[in-house]
A and B are shown apart, each in its own frame.
Chain A
């Protein structure tokens, strides 16, 4: 899948975490430096042969990086990263679980409850 850069701006990229039930989930903009690191990481990941882990109904359910300009989204949860575009979906194995913490720690301080990061080992 195409992960090439063009004339991108930070506002093209929105990150978010799926955590809450009552409150709106947190979202934030991501610096291009972080985006580049995440995209490099994605390119290096091998395919996931097994089924991706299923999140619980309540609690932390993963995080995402959305590229509004190119209508694509990476979703990361417990060592699996899925890139979704309007036409296809591809899941890769993030054995070291690097994508998820890199994205989550790009959130402004306090936006994600520290208890969540702690309980997830992130």
Chain B
């Protein structure tokens, strides 16, 4: 019997892997023995991909000693088991605490010393994020609703360095990397003069964004839809509508995300939790190749 556990946490780097000896494998499979079935949307929430720690992927192989109650490959996430034919609570609902604990098996993984403190936070964060998830029923077939909308590719923007730190919400929303923390109107020599809709909106028009106040969350036939919001006299913020119809954003130098301040997917920025950005200004259209920002 061979049991391998992958700590599923990275987007770009290969995930850390722990290979267990026979005694450890037996103990782990005992702890992960399925008990009660998950109820409601618990399984879907546990399996929904998020950025950061997403759970443990357990793979068992061999002819003797493998657990017949568990599939060859399954996931332990936020204290729940999911996999082919598997949507259950494990015998040890605190398995992840055990795994990452002081005497846990995680320390066998390479580079674990540097990851330990991050993982402590990440495991708890994953639980909190999933608690907040509200999963809407998925209508099939899924149509691509915005053919010209940009793809949501957070790993590209969230490099933790040059791209992430020097490109803000305006860069992200317009899908235009400048590495200059772009400001509406600056490229045209007509930067906004106050942090109000009345000032930022015309500055963006000078950058060749097109004001479409009547867009009503509908994708344009050309280009993609963005939305301007304002924290009055404090700051501005932009969202962009993606190819799948959902909105995403990049708050300042932090990571791009598809969640609002309440941890919900964003179907309409007018109704999303926007924190201090209480003023919704307008929808605008970015026509690819037309705009110039800096």
Contact = CB atoms under 8 A, between A and B. Distances in A.
A42 to B, nearest CB: 17
B277 interface: yes
A113 B125 contact: no
B125 A21 contact: no
B276 A58 contact: yes
A52 B259 contact: no
B261 A59 contact: yes
A22 B254 contact: no
A18 B252 contact: yes
Contacts of A119: 276
A19 B236 CA distance: 11
A115 B238 CA distance: 21
Contacts of B170: 22
Q: Which of B114, B235, B238 has most A Cβ within 10 Å?
A: B235
Given A21-B169, A54-B125, A113-B234, A91 B117 contact: yes
A18 B235 CA distance: 12
A58 B274 contact: yes
A23 B251 contact: no
A24 interface: yes
A91 B116 CA distance: 13
A122 interface: no
Nearest to A87: B114
B233 interface: yes
A52 B252 contact: no
B257 interface: yes
A12 B15 CA distance: 36
Given A20-B235, A115-B234, A25 B277 contact: no
A56 B251 CA distance: 10
A115 B276 CA distance: 10
A70 to B, nearest CB: 19
B128 interface: yes
Interface in A2-48: 18-25
A97 interface: no
A27 to B, nearest CB: 12
B237 interface: yes
Contact of A58 (B184, B253, B275): B275
Interface in A64-122: 87-91, 113, 115-116, 119
Interface string B181-210: 101100000000001000010000000000
B237 A22 contact: yes
B64 interface: no
A61 B254 contact: yes
Contact of B233 (A57, A61, A113): A113
A22 B238 contact: yes
B124 interface: yes
Contact of A22 (B168, B260, B275, B276): B168
Nearest to A55: B254
Q: Which of A52, A57, A89 has most B Cβ within 10 Å?
A: A57
A58 B117 contact: no
Contacts of B121: 51-52
Contacts of B236: 21-23
CB-based closest 7 A-B pairs: A59-B275, A51-B124, A22-B236, A58-B275, A21-B237, A20-B235, A56-B261
6 contacts: A21-B168, A21-B236, A21-B237, A21-B277, A23-B235, A57-B261
